[in-house]
Structure 1
């Protein structure tokens, strides 16, 4: 009876990278804990709260990177000079940003440093291998993009206010709409820039990206396009319904329910229900394409049988 011992060569070659990754994780642990605490307890700024989808995306990015560890080890440790120089420059630059005083640059130092490590250690091949996890990390990094987009959401705010007013009129409510303001029962409801649904849209697109990867649907351009377009339409429609409910609750002085849906966990529950609906939409897209392929294959079989039958008659 022979006892096989696993060769330690692979671990020895991977050991420096594990040490570097451990030091990197310890360095950024306080920042990651700050993000998670702010997202969960809503103690972070409004703009940075838009990136709360990182609670799901960051662990998933780590899982994907861990799943690809064998492919990572198989990559050559010999990198080109420009790859090593650019990678090292990005990594050192991220450290400078991390110890700086600007919060957004401190945040962005995380994905920049990870990109630098991939280039420095494994070159362009390593960066390509970890491209999707890096994308998830970058899209979950809090920054000022929502603040920059807020001034351009006025047409969307007006559309939401007008549609919400129209829906409430169908239920016999006396309501007036002026630009982004709804007047109902001597109360005013404003569809503010941060109520235009950007957070819901960001979260939906981020989760949709994860779903496309998880199911493998991203390989089909047609399926992916249909699903992304569906995400945008569903997100806008869900936000219109939410604003309509908020206007109704505020106008009818149901203050407890209004604050529950607007400020409390009712809004999170509403968003979770919408994300669950996206899962159903993706499953329907997959089923529809499956049925279409079955119909096509069935038609090909019928044609073949018809040609064989005609050949026998001849």
Structure 2
């Protein structure tokens, strides 16, 4: 009869290793993890290679972080994204990353968007396309299951792209309007002329730096991170993001309102020093704290933590197929950069820039002596004319681009219709007729001391005039399909005294515009490809 084993002998028998399938499974799992770590390493190296290939676009993002305080928070985006990935490392390995051929489709779409943005010189679209290419490459090299683990860090990368430059004028207008309404609510006499606020103590202008763009972009970035960590439902995330947009805009208007009140109570110099040295930072920090407290009040309990479920590693891996997918991904990226480089080398000779005008072109000395000049960088040819209309000088500046490209395009983010030290008093649209075409041109009033200028600005692209930068890009794409890529930025301006209405300057510009017959035809013959 058999008896039960007892004592140390029994324990030794129980702990003897069992040969057979278990040992094989353990070895296979170890090999699988090694392959997955290698896949992650290849993906990381691939992203570094992508940044090297598209270093021009990546560098433009970093330069904006450095040059513009509104985007300086961008330096924190990559470390935060890296930390978010590190938090998910166990789930990422459990997802058994492996390349998928289906990722090549979004990668090709993002690379095409980048190339088109380069061709039509839309820097912000190029930058967003770069972020999309990083995400699409990660999807291609890691697969759908692993990419789902990285979904939020991947989307958070888009916050690194500087955005919002185009809304600065609107933010200025909202800031001025909120400040004026608040002043009227407390009984302070106030007169508003666009961005200029006049009170009994003096004039205040809402400059670009007062638009609140820096605070808004930083707050939106913080809100995205906060919402991802403390909310599970999309409704609460969306509600918090709306608050993160509305509260900074309203707060910035109230900041200007309070500065004006301080000026009334203690003087302009004191109000300016408080605003720039103490009040701005303290106030905005308090607003951020209030926003986070509001968000914290309706936070959701975190989901119950669960161990990541290991993926099925029984599927046979095919190294040759995976290598082909990776090669296809890098082939797409190299093709995009090579095509962009080839297009950038296309020359654009200038034949002539003979344009219709009642007056004669100004010489270099006269141009240098002009009190007002627009900044229109990268032009292949430039002409400045001036004529007298009812005794008022009307100046026209034409910047011509034989082949529009990055840094040399009709509608450029780097363009500026007035010197940096001039104050923008109002902006909007004016419906005019130019060379037989009805155009809604940009209308701007700027001031430098008592000298005011009324400015009209518009673009010529693909034989059409437009006052919209976005429309000029669409016209440029249409022209490219026919082999044309020339463009021009046209600016006309007339001065008037600060004590008079701009109506007389408006009439002078209208009469000068009536003399632009043949302008489109002359621009069409100015250069050849």
Confirm or deny: 8 A CA contact 1:161 1:191 kept in the other structure.
no
Distance 1:225 1:79 in 2: 33
The equivalent residue for 1:295 is none
Confirm or deny: 8 A CA contact 1:150 1:194 kept in the other structure.
no
Counterparts of 1:235-254 in structure 2 under 5 Å?
A: 235-250=248-263, 252-254=266-268
Confirm or deny: 8 A CA contact 1:111 1:137 kept in the other structure.
yes
Query: Structure 1 residue 22: deviation in Å?
Result: 4.8
Confirm or deny: 8 A CA contact 1:176 1:183 kept in the other structure.
yes
Q: Give a deviation string over 1:246-288, Cα, whole Å, max 9, x none.
A: 32345654436525534x57534432222111221122224xx
Query: Structure 1 residue 118: deviation in Å?
Result: 1.6
The equivalent residue for 1:311 is none
2:152 pairs with 1:161: no
Structure 2 unaligned residues grouped into runs of 5+: 1-14, 17-26, 302-529
Query: Structure 1 residue 151: deviation in Å?
Result: 4.5
Distance 2:237 2:150 in 1: 21
Q: Give a deviation string over 1:80-118, Cα, whole Å, max 9, x none.
A: 4332354377579879999xx986466446413321222
Confirm or deny: 8 A CA contact 1:197 1:235 kept in the other structure.
yes
Counterpart among 85, 90, 102 of residue 70 in structure 1: 90
3-state SS in 1 of match to 2:143: helix
Distance 1:260 1:20 in 2: 50
Q: Give a deviation string over 1:29-70, Cα, whole Å, max 9, x none.
A: 99989967865xxx513xxx4333434443222211222223
The equivalent residue for 2:405 is none
2:167 pairs with 1:149: yes
Counterpart among 136, 148, 151 of residue 131 in structure 1: 151
The equivalent residue for 2:285 is 272
Q: After the TM superposition, which of the residue ranges 7-16 and 62-71 deviates more from structure 2?
A: 7-16
Distance 1:70 1:95 in 2: 36
Confirm or deny: 8 A CA contact 1:187 1:250 kept in the other structure.
no
Counterparts of 1:196-235 in structure 2 under 5 Å?
A: 196-215=211-230, 217-219=231-233, 221=235, 223-235=236-248
TM (normalized to structure 1)? 0.65
TM (normalized to structure 2)? 0.42
Counterparts of 1:65-144 in structure 2 under 5 Å?
A: 65-84=85-104, 86-87=106-107, 90=110, 104=124, 107-108=127-128, 110-143=130-163
3-state SS in 1 of match to 2:298: helix
Distance 2:269 2:56 in 1: 38
Q: After the TM superposition, which of the residue ranges 54-63 and 7-16 deviates more from structure 2?
A: 7-16
Confirm or deny: 8 A CA contact 2:175 2:249 kept in the other structure.
no
Distance 1:224 1:116 in 2: 25
Distance 2:153 2:255 in 1: 32
RMSD: 4.3
Distance 2:194 2:33 in 1: 64
Residues 230/189 of structure 1: CA separation in 2 closer, same or farther (3 Å cut):
same
- Structure (1 or 2) with the greater helix fraction: 1
Distance 2:263 2:63 in 1: 30
Confirm or deny: 8 A CA contact 1:77 1:122 kept in the other structure.
yes
3-state SS in 1 of match to 2:203: strand
Distance 1:128 1:239 in 2: 38
Residues 73/229 of structure 1: CA separation in 2 closer, same or farther (3 Å cut):
same
Instruction: Answer with 1 or 2: which has the greater Rg.
Output: 2
2:305 pairs with 1:282: no
3-state SS in 1 of match to 2:204: strand
Q: Give a deviation string over 1:199-226, Cα, whole Å, max 9, x none.
A: 43333232222112112x23262x4454
3-state SS in 2 of match to 1:135: helix
Distance 1:58 1:191 in 2: 33
Residues 280/8 of structure 1: CA separation in 2 closer, same or farther (3 Å cut):
same
The equivalent residue for 1:261 is 275
